[in-house]
Amino acid sequence: MEDKDSQLPFEAALTRLETLVDSMESGDIPLAELLSKFQEGNNLLKICETRLKDAELRIEQLKKDRDEAVFIPFEAPRETT
């Protein structure tokens, strides 16, 4: 995976992957180019899977943090006169 590709946001990687798949399905690509596109698509797929897994882990952590939160009742200070 190239370094610049590994920095791609999920949406950009997915859009590029969809474009590659569409061009590969056209059937008008020479074999060498098809293999190159397949390899690029495989790399983009890994990026998408990593971004999704990271998001899933983040959501699980947020849910865990929420479930572990302890709420303490707020008591307003009493005024003394």
Question: pLDDT tens for residues 39-69?
Answer: 999 999 999 999 999 999 999 998 888 777 6
Sign of CA dihedral 42, 8, 11, 56: positive
Name the pTM for this structure. 0.71
Whole-angstrom distance, CA of residue 20 vs CA of residue 64: 38
Helix (H) or strand (E) holding 50: helix 31-68
Separation in Å, CA 46 to CA 6, 19, 56: 9, 16, 15
The reply to whether CATH 3.30.70.920 applies to domain 3-68 is: no
Percent of the chain's residues with pLDDT above 70: 89
